[in-house]
Structure 1
Amino acid sequence: MNKKAKSRLSLAFDISGIALIIVAIVVVKLSTHPLVEILGGVLATIGFGLITGAKYV
């Protein structure tokens, strides 16, 4: 994989991670059930993992 493709893939991981974190924040803010808040936490964790993993692509 060339450098340009790696750069684009890394950017895609960053954008999708940020989007998941934003979705998680909205879900937690609008939730009324504790299980939904747990789901928001899982989404945020996956988002942070994507952002962290983008460095190693």
Structure 2
Amino acid sequence: MNKKGKTRLSLAFDISGIVLIVVAIVIVKLATNPLVEIIAGILATVGFGLIAGAKYV
């Protein structure tokens, strides 16, 4: 894969990670069930993982 393709893929990982974190924050703000908050925490963790893993692509 060329450098431009890697840059785009890294940017895609960053954007999807940020979107997952924002969705998780919104879910936690609106949730009334603790199980839903746990699922939102898992989503946020995956989002942070995508952002952290983007530099290794």
Give the alignment's TM-score, normalised by structure 2.
0.99
Aligned residue in 1 for 2:35:
35
User: Which amino acid is the alignment partner of residue 35 of structure 2?
Assistant: L
Q: Which residue of 1 aligns with 2:19?
A: 19
The unaligned stretches of length 5 or more in structure 1 are: none
CA distance in 2, matches of 1:55, 1:6: 10
Matched AA of 2:8: R
Of all paired residues, the percent bearing the same amino acid is 79
Q: Deviations over 1:6-57 (max 9, x none)?
A: 0000000000000000000000000000000000100000000000000000
Runs of 4+ aligned residues of structure 1 deviating over 6 Å after TM superposition are: none
TM-score (norm 1): 0.99
State the number of aligned residues.
57
Paired letter, 2:27: V
RMSD: 0.2
